[in-house]
Chains A and B, each alone.
Chain A
Amino acid sequence: MKSNLHMYVMAAPLLTAFLVNIFGRNNRKVIAPLVLGALGLSSLLAITVLKRTLMLGDLSYTAGAWTPPWGIELLVDPLSALMLLLISAVSFIATFAALPCVKRDLKDRQHIFFTLYLILITGLMGLVLTADAFNLYVMLEITSITTYGLIAMGRGRASLSSFNYIIMGSVAASFYLLGVGYLYLLTGTLNMADIARYLPALQGSAALATALAFILIGLWIKMAFFPLHGWLPRAYTDAPDGAGVLIAPLMTKVTIYLMVRLMLTFQSPTFSLISMDVRTLVIWAAAIGIVCASSLALAQRNLKQMLTYIIIAEVGYMVGGAWLANEQGMTGTLLHIVNDALMTLCLFLAAIAIAYRTGSLHFDHLKGLYQRMPWTMASFTVGAFAMIGVPPTCGFYSKWYLLLGGIEAGQWEFVVALIFSSLVNAVLFFRIIELAYFGSLQDSEHHAHASVQQHEAPWWILSPLALTAVLLIVVGLSTGPLVNNVIRLMVPVGF
């Protein structure tokens, strides 16, 4: 009797989405308990799934009790269990801040927002669990379509940014579908493990190279890998606050996880997705991407837009680390997926808190924030240190692994790009910290020097923010057990 636990993790948000749509239409008060209850249940079950997987081993689950490869297979191994826990935990924490922001911004469309929100979370969970190439496409599109809808609900030019994202995202998904079509023509099956069995025999064929190229480019557009990143800054900046805090930490990371999953599944002693000539190209592209994105982040005057360019640079880290083709690099990438989700969550929550109180995220409005919002800026500082890579926050450890991997593989451009990006991050964040700490107050004529009003962010944004900041340090300190017990199990021997 196979355990259904991971499916319950997925089914809870999905069922609640439709219940929210039916019942939230007339009675607004029922939305918050439903959403938080479902996501809380998912998080608790995800912890159980992770513990059970580490104890009992991988679980291959086929919906409908058909045997793979005829049935659609779902694979629960340590990495997917970890990602499942990450998605449910991050969405649970983000929902605390999203609920009031949505109540303020979208007063009479809350039930629609949360329907899309919960279906997005279901799609993300399905993405990390699936082991079937076509099912991946369906889940990818579920995630993308709900994201298009969520981003279009924002103010200002959000509809145009969402339309831009629709066009680029559909191109990406169509490329992925085309690649899967080529693979189906070549191997006759859609199950990823089954495809991996046929691949060594096909090595060197042009059709296989085309298939893998289409799949990779589709995924790269979705994860905003430089130079295919054009849609991301405007889409994430114009998204409504409640949506941005969920989409920004998770979407690109899950897509990077997909790329890593494909690389690991197709890896065998005789075939590797990473051939030497493509590898150098990709790492050069990653390095150039990191440098360009960090430089573009320096030019921004708006906090949220600066954070989106930092996201693009982080994607460059992870893609470069995965393609380094050694154990340190892959460990660094997988660890960085977890860490970057938490760091981005922390920084976006801080941005929401600042926007809530000061109304704008332009740098000129950040002056003197340390006196007015001490707890918010303290958590922001922890997040900033994590982005820069200061121990004991988690950001340091993943960057350390990536640096070691780069040095070991001899890819010095990647190492230089990493160090450059850390320095640029330091400049970026210390600039903000300096503005917020030493900048004069805006209405200083009205206040005496001593009595500075503390106008802290409300507790429902502050508590998830503080919790995430604490988590950054806790995850950083527990990197050892995390890497040894979970991540090292996933990287194949002799990689």
Chain B
Amino acid sequence: METILDHVIAKYNYWIYVVLMMIGFYAMIGKRNLVKKLLGMNIFQTAIILFFISSGAKKGGSIPILDKYAALQGQVDVNQVVNPLPHVLMLTAIVVGVSVTGVALAVMLRIYRKYGTLEEDEILHKIENE
């Protein structure tokens, strides 16, 4: 029992991201309202972004903004500085997430205009009765 608790506490940040991911995934699949599905997708992508960023964190690491001349002379210890590469990659991933959200919202506007509702079962009902 102690070992499981030790595992959870030692890697608590990964457990939080997994819980977030599962919440987002459940919302995408289990909810019937289209807006809730979209928000579930957003939560899922955010959890993955957090996971990536936490992979670059270091214990006691300082922020990766360096003095230009100190860096050019090689006086910077890489072990003391948080890895900035995941941050930059996740900027791109955030942009992608925003774009997909924008497109999904525009598509939902069209669905609402055509069917008058954003509940998936009502929409399918209307399509079958067309």
How many chain A residues touch B (CB < 8 A): the figure is 25
Extra contacts, 12 of them, besides A138-B92, A149-B103, A166-B104 (Cβ < 8 A), are A134-B92, A145-B96, A148-B107, A162-B107, A163-B34, A163-B104, A163-B111, A170-B41, A174-B48, A177-B93, A181-B55, A185-B55
Chain A residue nearest to B86 in the complex (CB): A184
Say yes or no: is B37 at the interface (Cβ < 8 Å to chain A): yes
Q: Which residues of A contact B93 (CB under 8 A)?
A: 137, 177
Tell me whether A159 and B110 are in contact in the complex, defined as CB-CB below 8 angstroms, given that A174-B48, A177-B93, A178-B51 are known contacts.
yes
CB within 8 A of B89: which of A134, A152, A157, A171? A134
Tell me whether A181 and B48 are in contact in the complex, defined as CB-CB below 8 angstroms, given that A159-B114, A160-B123 are known contacts.
yes
What is the minimal beta-carbon distance from B16 to any residue of chain A, in angstroms? 15
What is the minimal beta-carbon distance from B41 to any residue of chain A, in angstroms? 5
Q: Are B44 and A171 in contact (CB under 8 A)?
A: yes
Q: List 22 A-B contacts (CB under 8 A).
A: A138-B92, A145-B99, A148-B103, A152-B106, A152-B107, A159-B110, A159-B111, A159-B114, A160-B123, A162-B107, A163-B34, A166-B107, A167-B38, A171-B41, A174-B45, A174-B48, A177-B52, A177-B93, A178-B51, A181-B48, A181-B55, A184-B55
What is the minimal beta-carbon distance from A181 to any residue of chain B, in angstroms? 5
Q: Are A181 and B52 in contact (CB under 8 A)?
A: yes
Chain B residue nearest to A158 in the complex (CB): B110
Q: Which residues of A contact B103 (CB under 8 A)?
A: 145, 148-149, 152, 166
Say yes or no: is A141 at the interface (Cβ < 8 Å to chain B): yes
**A/B pair count, beta carbons within 8 Å:** 74
Contact residues, A438-455 vs B (CB, 8 A): none
Query: How far is A148 from B111 in the complex, measured between Cα atoms in Å?
Result: 14
Say yes or no: is B127 at the interface (Cβ < 8 Å to chain A): yes
Say yes or no: is B100 at the interface (Cβ < 8 Å to chain A): yes
Query: How far is A148 from B99 in the complex, measured between Cα atoms in Å?
Result: 11
Q: Are A170 and B45 in contact (CB under 8 A)?
A: yes
Say yes or no: is B82 at the interface (Cβ < 8 Å to chain A): no
How many chain B residues touch A (CB < 8 A): the figure is 29
Q: Are A167 and B51 in contact (CB under 8 A)?
A: no
Q: Are B108 and A163 in contact (CB under 8 A)?
A: yes
CB within 8 A of B100: which of A134, A138, A141, A160? A141
Say yes or no: is B20 at the interface (Cβ < 8 Å to chain A): no
Bitwise interface map of A from 179 to 208 toward B, beta carbon under 8 Å scored 1, else 0: 001001100001000000000000000000
Q: Which residues of A contact B107 (CB under 8 A)?
A: 148, 152, 159, 162-163, 166
What is the minimal beta-carbon distance from B17 to any residue of chain A, in angstroms? 10
Contact residues, B41-60 vs A (CB, 8 A): 41, 44-45, 48, 51-52, 55
Q: Are B37 and A138 in contact (CB under 8 A)?
A: no
Q: Are B41 and A160 in contact (CB under 8 A)?
A: no
Chain A residues packing against B (C-beta within 8 Å): 134, 137-138, 141, 145, 148-149, 152, 157, 159-160, 162-163, 166-167, 170-171, 173-174, 177-178, 181, 184-185, 190
Query: How far is A162 from B99 in the complex, measured between Cα atoms in Å?
Result: 15
What is the minimal beta-carbon distance from A198 to any residue of chain B, in angstroms? 16
Chain B residues packing against A (C-beta within 8 Å): 25, 28, 34, 37-38, 41, 44-45, 48, 51-52, 55, 86, 89, 92-93, 96, 99-100, 103-104, 106-108, 110-111, 114, 123, 127
Query: How far is A138 from B97 in the complex, measured between Cα atoms in Å?
Result: 11
Chain B residue nearest to A173 in the complex (CB): B96
Q: Are A152 and B45 in contact (CB under 8 A)?
A: no
Chain B residue nearest to A157 in the complex (CB): B127
Chain A residue nearest to B111 in the complex (CB): A159
Q: Which residues of A contact B127 (CB under 8 A)?
A: 157, 160
Among B44, B96, B104, B111, max chain A CB count under 10 A is at B96
Query: How far is A159 from B111 in the complex, measured between Cα atoms in Å?
Result: 6
Query: How far is A452 from B25 in the complex, measured between Cα atoms in Å?
Result: 58
Q: Which residues of B contact A171 (CB under 8 A)?
A: 25, 28, 41, 44
Sorted nearest first, the 9 A-B pairs with minimum C-beta distance are A159-B110, A141-B96, A159-B111, A152-B107, A181-B52, A170-B41, A166-B104, A185-B55, A163-B107
Q: Which residues of A contact B55 (CB under 8 A)?
A: 181, 184-185
Query: How far is A163 from B96 in the complex, measured between Cα atoms in Å?
Result: 16
Q: Are A167 and B89 in contact (CB under 8 A)?
A: no
Q: Which residues of B contact A160 (CB under 8 A)?
A: 111, 123, 127
Query: How far is A181 from B104 in the complex, measured between Cα atoms in Å?
Result: 25
Query: How far is A170 from B41 in the complex, measured between Cα atoms in Å?
Result: 7
Q: Are A166 and B100 in contact (CB under 8 A)?
A: yes
Q: Which residues of B contact A138 (CB under 8 A)?
A: 92, 96
Q: Are B48 and A177 in contact (CB under 8 A)?
A: yes
What is the minimal beta-carbon distance from A113 to any residue of chain B, in angstroms? 14
Query: How far is A160 from B111 in the complex, measured between Cα atoms in Å?
Result: 7
Query: How far is A167 from B44 in the complex, measured between Cα atoms in Å?
Result: 11
Q: Which residues of B contact A159 (CB under 8 A)?
A: 107-108, 110-111, 114
Q: Which residues of A contact B89 (CB under 8 A)?
A: 134, 190
Query: How far is A166 from B101 in the complex, measured between Cα atoms in Å?
Result: 9
Q: Which residues of B contact A181 (CB under 8 A)?
A: 48, 51-52, 55
Q: Which residues of B contact A152 (CB under 8 A)?
A: 103, 106-107, 110
Tell me whether A167 and B41 are in contact in the complex, defined as CB-CB below 8 angstroms, given that A141-B100, A148-B103 are known contacts.
yes
